[in-house]
Amino acid sequence: MSQSCDVIVIGAGAAGLMCAASAGYRGRSVLVLDNAKKAGRKILISGGGRCNFTNNDLSTSAFICSNPHFVKSALSRYTAWNFIDLVERHGVAYHEREHGQLFCDDSAKDIVDMLHTECDWAGVKIQLRTEILSIEKADDGRYHLQTSQGALNCESLVVATGGLSMPKLGATPYGYKVAEQFGLKVNATKAGLVPFTLQQHDKDKYADLSGVSLPVRISTESGVSFKEALLFTHRGLSGPSVLQVSSYWNPGEAVSINLLPDTEITETLAAMTESSPNQALKTALARVLPKRLVEIFYADELLPECTLKQLQHKDLNDISTLLHNWQVKPNGTEGYRTAEVTLGGVDTNELSSKTMEAKKAPGLYFIGEVMDVSGWLGGYNFQWAWSSGWSCGQFV
Ligand code: FAD
């Protein structure tokens, strides 16, 4: 005997729970299925446990998608302000950090609890520890699912299974398989918002800098750049600036790092030369950069052993190029193991930007990270989950 409902949502993550509540409030009978033991596991660990749930400065340019116009409709139907209003109505305390990022004051659990409450109020049923064994579309247009907990059928099937990042949290390629089963194109995926790894000899060279952070501007060869902190790690480079550019970086490319994005080193050295002409260049540079990094540049013979007053015009040019345009060639990224998002996914040209319904498979919908939409660091990925989930919930 197959259990019937109007809507089945596969995936009890950010997008799935939002969509379920949105549809439930419209009077639809909604069942959310997830193979995990807990709903919203990624939300719980997000933003260092405080969930950067949206961004005050939501711009469509902060989204990466093969069709850049695709995100506009959902983001304008359900905006950051709609989500902030929801958070406030549930009494979740939050604060703003730099770049308009909004975080919970206490815990990301507040957001998961809020979504559970919304689902309860909307009459949504959530069934965890459920494996989907097969999906078929019957002649009557309904979707029939065989699951580890029995047979189910629905009029609208929403796939909200997320991307591939953090497999230890239960990420699976299941959503892509469903898309392919119904003839939809899935664009190649890769890890995004992810630390860079370095060649072994570079790793050894910068090992002592592990834990050191400094403000920089990093640019990719294609000219995309971000000004944020860089963090040296024992595997390579991380920090917000690296995570941001990683989504635009291609294997084999170098990145250019401006180690002093707020000053011009030649001007700084000119001022220092006036006040302390006999100071060693090395000592002077260690006042504006991490000392260990300066020592590494000296060990690599990239800087001259001289005093400030001995600096020649050519020396100043070389120093400026090195410090404002330091070239680093990552040998890869840490991959899905630590990535915050998956780039690529279900091709948005296959979907309606208003409803998220598959053009080739009426009644089948894709929302959240499983789609070929990713955002910058800063709450954009959750906002996409809320916006795509809520918009879809209005039509299923
Ligand atoms: P998910 O939240 O991943 O949910 C997918 C759900 O589908 C999961 O519950 C999973 O168990 C279920 N599922 C998967 N496969 C199956 C299957 N075969 N059968 C049944 N169920 C299945 N974004 C931000 O905007 N701000 C942040 O602060 C932030 N921090 C992050 C920190 C980390 C460490 C990570 C990894 C990501 C972070 N992100 C952040 C990104 C954000 O978590 C995701 O973009 C967002 O969770 C995507 O929502 P989703 O609902 O599409 O997918």
Give me the residues paired with residue 54 across strands: 102
Q: Is 240 in the pocket of ligand 1 (CB under 6 A)?
A: no
Give me the residues paired with residue 143 across strands: 137, 154
Distance CA 372, CA 342 (A): 8
- CA-nearest of 1, 33, 378 to 193 is 378
Minimum mean pLDDT among 56-60, 277-281, 332-336, 340-344: which range? 56-60
Distance CA 209, CA 297 (A): 13
DSSP string across 157-174? EEE----SS-GGGT--SH
Position 354 scores a pLDDT of: 98
| pLDDT mean over 157-161 | 98
State the complex-level ipTM.
0.99
The DSSP output letter for 357 is B
Residues of the chain with CATH 2.40.30.10: 195-333
Q: Is 172 in the pocket of ligand 1 (CB under 6 A)?
A: yes
- CA-nearest of 374, 377, 341 to 241 is 377
Position 358 scores a pLDDT of: 98
Inform me whether the pLDDT recorded for 71 exceeds 90: yes
Distance CA 113, CA 230 (A): 34
Q: Is 160 in the pocket of ligand 1 (CB under 6 A)?
A: yes
| pLDDT mean over 42-62 | 95
Q: Is 45 in the pocket of ligand 1 (CB under 6 A)?
A: yes
pLDDT class of 273 with cuts at 50, 70, 90: very high
Q: What is the pLDDT of residues 16-36, one digit of tens each?
A: 999 999 999 999 999 999 999
**Backbone CA torsion sign across 130, 37, 396, 46:** negative
Dihedral angle at the C-alpha atoms of 373, 112, 395, 73, nearest 10 degrees? Answer: -40
Q: Which fold has domain 195-333?
A: Elongation Factor Tu (Ef-tu); domain 3 (2.40.30)
SS3 call for 12 = coil
Percent of the chain with pLDDT over 90: 97
Position 249 scores a pLDDT of: 97
Q: What is the pLDDT of residues 306-336, one digit of tens each?
A: 999 999 999 999 999 999 999 999 999 999 9
Position 332 scores a pLDDT of: 97
Residue nearest to atom 30 of ligand 1 (CA): 46
Inform me whether the pLDDT recorded for 1 exceeds 90: no
Position 204 scores a pLDDT of: 93
Position 169 scores a pLDDT of: 86
pLDDT class of 209 with cuts at 50, 70, 90: very high
| pLDDT mean over 154-167 | 96
The architecture in CATH of the region 3-190+340-393 reads: 3-Layer(bba) Sandwich (3.50)
pLDDT class of 64 with cuts at 50, 70, 90: very high
Residue nearest to atom 37 of ligand 1 (CA): 340
Distance CA 115, CA 124 (A): 11
CA distances in angstroms from 115 to 9, 27, 121, 122, 234, listed in the order given: 14, 17, 10, 10, 37
Residue nearest to atom 2 of ligand 1 (CA): 13
DSSP string across 274-317? HH-TTSBHHHHHHTTS-HHHHHHHHHTT-S---BGGG--HHHHH
Residues of the chain with CATH 3.50.50.60: 3-190+340-393
Å from CA of 357 to ligand 1 middle: 20
Inform me whether the pLDDT recorded for 170 exceeds 90: no
Å from CA of 199 to ligand 1 middle: 30
Token look-up 């800087």 returns 303
Inform me whether the pLDDT recorded for 135 exceeds 90: yes
245: its two tokens: 């550019």
Angle of CA points 267, 292, 335, to nearest 5°: 105
